[in-house]
Structure 1
Amino acid sequence: MKIGLYFGSFNPIHIGHLVIANHIAEYSDLNEVWFVVTPHNPFKKKSTLLDNYQRLEMVYRAAKNYQKLKPCDIEFSLPQPNYTINTLVYLQEKHPDYQFSLIMGEDNLDSFHKWKNYDVILENHDIYVYPRVSEGKTPTQFDGHKKIHHIDAPIMQLSSTFIRNAIKQGKNVKPMLPEHVWEYLDEMNFYK
């Protein structure tokens, strides 16, 4: 079974995340895409994050009607801060029959060489890269690499930061969120 791992804080998960994950699940050789909810990305300030389980609950609600999309809380039990290589090693040990791949935006590929043990990741795992809006594609050392697959997914210009700020300003963000996620945010008064 081939599993794509889509890492993120999902603070909150929005329709852009779903569109990309579903597109990759439907138009690649992956059997499933797992939303790996990260408790603490080493590159992000922790203070802006909702509680881990509140973000996981939103991912559960967002993915529940999609057979190929699954929430994953594996990093909640791993040492902090989380590094992708550690998560991959742990998942591979736990599921030896699965083949795990990474899903990332084009912009992340530019800094991939700075990731802990990026060369080991690339040696053992495929990477599915979805397009992002940019001022022109900058070549990276990974262009043409056999383990990197560029997916022609829709370009989504929606961010969780934009949604959080819009909620603070009292704007209607309902169209930007899966219905069950919007209901949960509204009920819990998050980001206000």
Structure 2
Amino acid sequence: MKIGLFFGSFNPIHLGHLIIGNTMATHTDLGEVWYIVSPQNPFKKNKGLLHEFDRLTMVEKAIADNPKLRVTDIEFNLPKPSYTIDTLTILAEKYPQHEFVLIMGEDNLVQFEKWKNYDKILAYYKLYVYERPNTAPHNFKDHPSVFFVAAPLLDISATFIRNCIKNGRSIKYMVKEEVEEYIAWKGFYR
């Protein structure tokens, strides 16, 4: 089966993440999309990042009703920060029956050449890229391993959601109800 891998901190997972995952799972040749909860992104600061198990729980709650979406904690036991190439190598060894594809926003292509072993990723894996408006120019528009997929985009960010919570504002309709309830119950992002 062809599996799309959607990496992120998901701090918290929001409807934009869910729409991308579902669109990739239903509008392409992917059998499933796996959300990879990253303990620490090498390009982002760790400040304000919830514990990885809480973020995993939120993703589980958000995708529970969709059999084409899964979540994995594969990076939790890897050295931090985790690098995509290392995770891909481990997944390929653990699940040789699957073909893995990377899902990413076009904005990530702008800095893709800074990723560890980006050339090996392109040599061995396909990238399914959802277009983002106002993306800076990059060198991958015509690369044979890069495929652009039309997907609806919501201009919602996890940062915006965290700021809403911190300021006592509603996050209704930005996250699934189960995620909103979990955040309130745990008192996150206050």
Match for residue 172 of structure 2?
174
Q: Distance in 2 between matches of 1:98 and 1:158?
A: 32
Q: Cα RMSD (Å) of the superposition? A: 0.9
Q: Does the CA-based 8 Å contact 1:3-1:98 persist in structure 2?
A: yes
For residue 156 of structure 2, give the secondary structure of its aligned residue in structure 1. Answer: coil
- CA distance in 2: counterparts of 1:139 and 1:133, whole angstroms: 11
* Cα distance between partner residues in 2 of 1:113 and 1:101: 18
Aligned residue number for residue 110 of structure 1 = 110
Look up the match of 1:165. Answer: 163
Q: Deviating runs (4+, > 4 A) in structure 1? A: none
Q: Which moved more, 1:158-167 or 1:40-49?
A: 40-49
Contact persistence 1:132–1:156 (CA under 8 A) = no
Give 1:42's aligned residue: 42
Q: Deviations over 1:122-177 (max 9, x none)?
A: 0110001112221xx54322111111110100022110000000111111102100
Separation in structure 1 between the aligned mates of residue 177 and residue 22 of structure 2, nearest angstrom: 16
Partner residue, 1:60: 60
CA contact (8 A) 2:103 2:128 kept: yes
SS at match of 1:21: helix
1:11-160 equivalence runs, <5 A? 11-134=11-134, 137-160=135-158
Q: Any gaps of 5 or more consecutive residues in structure 1? A: none
Whole-Å Cα distance in 2 between the matches of residues 156 and 126 of structure 1?
Answer: 24
AA partner of residue 182 (structure 2): Y
One-letter code aligned to 1:189: G
1:1-37 alpha-carbon deviations (Å, 9 max, x no partner):
1010000000000011001110110000111001100
Instruction: State how many pairs are aligned.
Output: 190
Q: 2:107·2:136 contact (CA, 8 Å) conserved in 1? A: no
Contact 1:133–1:155 (CA under 8 A) maintained in structure 2? no
| Structure 2 unmatched ranges of 5 or more | none
Task: Answer whether contact 1:35 1:72 (CA < 8 A) is retained.
Answer: yes
Structure 1 contact 25–32 (Cα < 8 Å) conserved:
yes
TM-score between the two structures when normalised by the length of structure 1: 0.96
Identity across matched positions, percent = 53
Tell me if the contact between 1:5 and 1:36 (Cα under 8 Å) persists in the aligned partners: yes
Instruction: State the alpha-carbon separation in 1 of the partners of residues 74 and 48 from structure 2.
Output: 21
Q: CA deviation at 1:47?
A: 2.3
TM-score (structure 2 length as normaliser): 0.97
The alpha carbon displacement at 1:81 in A equals 1.0
